[in-house]
Amino acid sequence: YAMLLSLIFLIVLVAAVVGFVFRHEIKTNFESNLNLALKDYNVTADPHSEAVDTIQRTLHCCGVQNYSDWERTEYFSQRGIPRSCCKSQDDCSEKDLKDPNKAKLKVFVDGCFFLVTSTMESKMSVVAGISFGIACFQLIGIILACCLSRYITNNQYEMV
Residues, the chain, total?
A: 160
- In degrees, rounded to 5, the angle at the alpha carbon of residue 74 between the alpha carbons of residues 89 and 111 is 55
Check: CB of residue 86 under 8 Å from CB of residue 92.
yes
Q: Which domain holds residue 75?
A: 1-155
Question: Across 28-91, where does the E strand assignment appear?
Answer: none
In a domain, 47, yes or no: yes
Domain count, the chain: 1
Examine residue 80 and state whether it is found in any structural domain, yes or no. Answer: yes
Residue 160 lies in a domain: no
Q: Which of 129, 133, 89 is nearest to 108 (CA)?
A: 89
Residue 62 is assigned to a structural domain of this protein: yes
CATH number at residue 96: 1.10.1450.10
pLDDT digits (tens, 9 = 90+) for 125-142: 788 888 888 888 999 999
List pLDDT tens digits, range 10-51: 988 888 888 778 888 888 998 999 888 888 888 666 888 888
CB atoms within 10 A of CB 146: 15
Residue 74 lies in a domain: yes
Q: According to the model, what pLDDT value does residue 43 have?
A: 64
Residue range 66-79: average pLDDT? 88
Looking at residue 152, its pLDDT comes to: 84
**Is residue 98 a part of any domain in this protein?**
yes
Q: Per-residue pLDDT tens for 87-102?
A: 888 888 888 888 888 8
Q: Are 108 and 60 in contact (CB under 8 A)?
A: yes
